[in-house]
Amino acid sequence: MRAQTLLCGDVAPMARCIPTRLPLLLVLAFCATGCVTVYQPLVSLQRPAVINPDHNNFEGLKLLLKCLPTDYTDSGDSEILCQNLRTLFDNQGAQVELEVPDSDVPKPDEEAAKPDLIVELTSRQLHSENSALQWALCYASFTLIPAVTEATFAQDVILRDTDGFLLGQDSLQGRFVRYFGLGYWAINGLMDLIVRDKSEQLTGSAQKEEFSRDFYGQLSQLVFHARMKQLVLRNFDAPMPNSAEAVKAAAPKEDPNAPMVPLLPGFPFPPPTAPPLPKNPAKL
């Protein structure tokens, strides 16, 4: 308000103010486009993933991905999700087929060999918030007060073998919060510039990479667990997914002073630490 008074004067007609106000309005409009979107993993997504999706974890595994449309995701979204996941598991050595009802994705060949694992994915929206009052306050304060929109979602994953036996299930839940406004954007921009480490920065598109890393990591881990459980329950009728490169990547340097692991076999590897996650996972 003080800026307007100085520019326009108390008695100046509105029309005369416009040329002098224009740069200010342009600056405001430019800055107001600055949104800050943050991602918060809620359930299961923040669990550490030990598997490294960059490695050949599923060599020769026949995987059928079923991305089922729901009220929250239409067949187009489901198709995009499935295509991204195909890339994820292709890169890890699996032979992936897709099934997306009501989409252009061709149905899997029924005469082809049956899949080893079937992964069913459905999405749900648990909560969404977009208050008109907040938007009104946001614009009334020249976007100093941010308008906050948020969405909480759940990605339900069910893993079965080819006979329909349940091998695992989980619900990966997360939350995206978007703050629209000059105030919030400016404060975070400054904090990113001056205070925060790169891994803690909020402006930019870091949230996409973080979500992709969490989601792909957890999904790879779930499929790996299901595969191992399947092998154990079938009394190891197929070779173990024993990629020496992947095992090596998942294991730390051996500590010569570490106590010997007691007894039975089954440990052809030293104690683990988390492997580095891929730097540029495919974006969802």
Q: Is 4 in the site for other proteins (CB under 8 A)?
A: no
Q: How far apart, in whole angstroms, are the C-alpha atoms of residue 140 and residue 147?
A: 11
Q: How far apart, in whole angstroms, are the C-alpha atoms of residue 172 and residue 160?
A: 17
> DSSP E strands: which ranges in the chain?
35-43, 62-68, 95-99, 117-130, 147-161, 166-180
Site string for other proteins, 60-99 (x = CB under 8 A): ----------------------------------------
Edge-to-edge strands of the sheet including 62-68?
35-43, 166-180, 147-161, 117-130, 62-68, 95-99
Q: Is 259 in the site for other proteins (CB under 8 A)?
A: yes
Q: Would you say 31 or 251 has its CB closer to other proteins?
A: 251
Helix, coil or strand: residue 284: coil
In this chain, which stretch among 65-73, 96-104, 106-114, 268-276 interacts with other proteins, using CB under 8 A? 268-276
Q: Would you say 174 or 281 has its CB closer to other proteins?
A: 174
Q: How far apart, in whole angstroms, are the C-alpha atoms of residue 148 and residue 138?
A: 9
Residue from 123, 87, 119, 64 nearest 280 by CA: 87
Q: Is 271 in the site for other proteins (CB under 8 A)?
A: yes
In this chain, which stretch among 79-87, 115-123, 156-164, 256-264 interacts with other proteins, using CB under 8 A? 256-264
Please report, in angstroms and rounded to a whole number, the separation of the first and last CA atoms in the chain. 43
Say how many residues touch other proteins, by CB under 8 A: 68
- Closest CB 200 distance from other proteins, rounded Å: 5
In this chain, which stretch among 26-34, 97-105, 157-165, 236-244 interacts with other proteins, using CB under 8 A? 236-244
Paired tokens of 56: 């050949």
Q: Check if the beta carbon of residue 65 is closer than 8 Å to that of residue 119.
A: yes
Q: Is 228 in the site for other proteins (CB under 8 A)?
A: yes
Q: Is 29 in the site for other proteins (CB under 8 A)?
A: no
Q: 68 pairs with which residues across the strands? A: 122
Residue from 34, 71, 72, 213 nearest 152 by CA: 72
Q: Would you say 17 or 228 has its CB closer to other proteins?
A: 228
Q: Is 183 in the site for other proteins (CB under 8 A)?
A: yes
Instruction: Single out the residue of 164, 236, 253, 280 in contact with other proteins (rule: CB under 8 A).
Output: 236
Residue from 41, 59, 78, 44 nearest 224 by CA: 59
Q: 94: which DSSP letter?
A: -
Q: 177 pairs with which residues across the strands? A: 38, 150
Q: Would you say 38 or 282 has its CB closer to other proteins?
A: 38
Site string for other proteins, 142-181 (x = CB under 8 A): --xxx-x-x-x--------------------x-x-x-x--
Binding site for other proteins (CB under 8 A): 1, 38-43, 46-52, 57, 126-127, 141, 144-146, 148, 150, 152, 173, 175, 177, 179, 183-184, 187-188, 191, 199-200, 202, 210, 221, 224-225, 228-229, 232-233, 235-236, 240-242, 246-247, 250-252, 259, 261-267, 269-274
